[in-house]
Amino acid sequence: MPSAAPEPYYITTPIYYVNDRPHVGHTYTTIVADAIARFMRLSGRDVFFLTGTDEHAEKVVESAARQGVTPQQWADRNAAEFQKAFAFAECSHDDFIRTTEPRHTKRVRAYISAMQGSGDIYLGDYVGWYDPSQEEYLTETVAREHDYKSPVTGRELIKRVEKNYFFALSRYQERLLAHIKANPGFIQPEARRNEVLGRLSQGLSDVPVSRAVAPGTEGDAGWGILMPGDEGHRVYVWIDALFNYLSTVDDPEAADGDRTRFWPAQVHLIAKDILWFHAVIWPCMLMALDRPLPKTVYAHSFWIREGRKMSKSLGNFLDLPTIKAYCDAYAGAFGVDAWRWFMLTQGPLGATDADFVHDKFVDCYNADLANGIGNAASRVINMIHKYFDGRVPDPGAPVAGSAIDLESICAERAGGAVALAERGSIGEALRSALGISNAVDQFINDTTPFKLAKVEGRLPEVGAILYRCIEALRIAAVLLCPAMPRSMGVLLQRLGQPAPDAKGAFPDAGTGAPIPFARLIRWGGMAPGSPVALGEGLFPRADPTAAPPVPIPGES
């Protein structure tokens, strides 16, 4: 019987503003999406992972002017910075969308035209409070609540009266509410879902979707997509940006192939700052277009640094040079893996912010990587060399002396990790996989192979113990690859096993086809007698008393 085609899995990140350079927040969201995408590829899904840049903001025009370059030059320069940052962080996105690309602008105009045709976009009068720092309009109630200042930056709001195109958001209020109620997983985590439900109970008003073209900035002289049928308006940047999720996969004749099977997306991963756009405006836009809604909008919280919010005025952004300094300072060639591990396991995926504290980074590195998987791997490989000439011993008879059953721990954790990753709980998925190497340590402590090896005639028992350990470590390494592709790939190679490709799938050495997940995690993958290579320790211990690689802002 022909096997069923793998189920598509489409995951997106926000597309980032190009008025500035990338920092830890942007790389965090993209690293989390990357680890999930890698987990899904590993488990055999047909994955499409999208990130990119949002380029038509008015603030790009302002910052370009300050730099003495055109908006396009400024966008090009910063989009390249984002691409470099994500390449550095080993992100495996399948595409990088830039909203100034014709493949996107062309489709946005088509979507808007369709919505004009159905009456979902109409021309009206707008009187409102505009927050220039966030490029968004606030309702009278919200503006008043915040004393007519930006709730985010505290900058004065501007009162604007203008002819504008509106999106008939209010038409979809009931349908959206019903959808959110019927699909508890649609907005995650729970706290964010409740927040949206709370705001929705105040009712929805139609929202402006255009800005008037200022004199002297008509046509090509200006920045932004022109409203179809009206050269006097440009599409408001947020509306333009949200369409990226659809425009990238919506062209069956695209040069890079038909990606239409990927819609609707499984998950839009974002942070809480842009929840309203993603959980309310975007789904209603999709309803207006008669398109299915994404399965989940997952809004994580923020990274702060050493107890303080990161901001330009404090000069405490964890920027790319700082991230690189951390990667250089720990784990040598595997520094990026150590960084990714910290981001993924200590990050703000839930409803509370996470604090980047230097000491916490070092403690996490030592506990999980140096003393955890790194130590367990060298301990077991060294014993196999000492007692079995570097060859995998025979599994032999069941082992006495420990309540730990590594085979069942592996079976349970492997299935669990993929399910957790699919739900977005990437930190938990990885902790669960790391738990295998902790169990290996405990198993060695219980069964003391290093003592048994000294007793005449007990070598087969030592072999049985070490077989279980090396096999469990192999499975742990497979499951940790989505977080630490390089170091775990090297560990797997030392075990004589296939390593993941650049996207996190495991191609068969002979056929090139992906090795099925069930086979990768099946107990018994290590062949007795096969060689295991010694190597440098993967994660050398870090000195917790050493100075941080970059000074901590605000500390002398």
- Interface residues with ligand MSP (CB under 6 A) are 14-17, 25-26, 28-29, 54, 241-242, 244, 270-271, 273-274, 302-303, 310
Q: How far apart are CA 488 and CA 479, in angstroms?
A: 9
**What is the nearest approach in angstroms of ligand MSP to the Cβ of residue 270?**
5
Q: In what order do the strands lie in the sheet with 158-167?
A: 136-138, 121-131, 158-167, 207-208
Residue 69 CB neighbour total at 10 angstroms: 14
**What is the nearest approach in angstroms of ligand MSP to the Cβ of residue 46?**
24
**What is the nearest approach in angstroms of ligand MSP to the Cβ of residue 23?**
7
Smaller CB separation from ligand MSP, 91 or 414: 91
**What is the nearest approach in angstroms of ligand MSP to the Cβ of residue 244?**
6
- Alpha helices for 53-165 (secondary structure H): 58-67, 71-88, 102-117, 140-145
Instruction: To the nearest 10°, report the CA torsion of 159, 134, 204, 10.
Output: 160
**What is the nearest approach in angstroms of ligand MSP to the Cβ of residue 58?**
12
Sign of CA dihedral 528, 467, 338, 485: positive
Smaller CB separation from ligand MSP, 364 or 459: 364
Spacing of C-alpha 478 from chain mean position: 19
Smaller CB separation from ligand MSP, 302 or 334: 302
Distance of CA 423 to CAs 11, 200, 427, Å? 12, 25, 11
Q: SS3 for 393? A: coil
Smaller CB separation from ligand MSP, 289 or 459: 289
Smaller CB separation from ligand MSP, 52 or 372: 52
**What is the nearest approach in angstroms of ligand MSP to the Cβ of residue 338?**
19
Smaller CB separation from ligand MSP, 136 or 461: 136
181, 145 contact by CB (below 8 A): no
**What is the nearest approach in angstroms of ligand MSP to the Cβ of residue 26?**
5
Can you point out the beta strands (E) in 150-266? 158-167, 187-188, 207-208, 210-212, 226-227, 230-235
Q: DSSP assignment, residue 515? A: P
Residue 332 CB neighbour total at 10 angstroms: 15
Smaller CB separation from ligand MSP, 53 or 437: 53
**What is the nearest approach in angstroms of ligand MSP to the Cβ of residue 410?**
33
Can you point out the beta strands (E) in 168-255? 187-188, 207-208, 210-212, 226-227, 230-235
Q: How far apart are CA 358 and CA 305, in angstroms?
A: 9
**What is the nearest approach in angstroms of ligand MSP to the Cβ of residue 75?**
12
Q: Are strands 230-235 and 296-300 parallel, antiparallel or unpaired?
A: unpaired
89, 340 contact by CB (below 8 A): yes
Smaller CB separation from ligand MSP, 283 or 374: 283
Smaller CB separation from ligand MSP, 26 or 233: 26
Structure tokens at 83: 């691409």
**What is the nearest approach in angstroms of ligand MSP to the Cβ of residue 279?**
12
Q: Which residue is nearest to ligand MSP (CB)?
A: 25
Q: How far apart are CA 532 and CA 537, in angstroms?
A: 14
Q: How far apart are CA 393 and CA 229, in angstroms?
A: 74
Smaller CB separation from ligand MSP, 16 or 517: 16
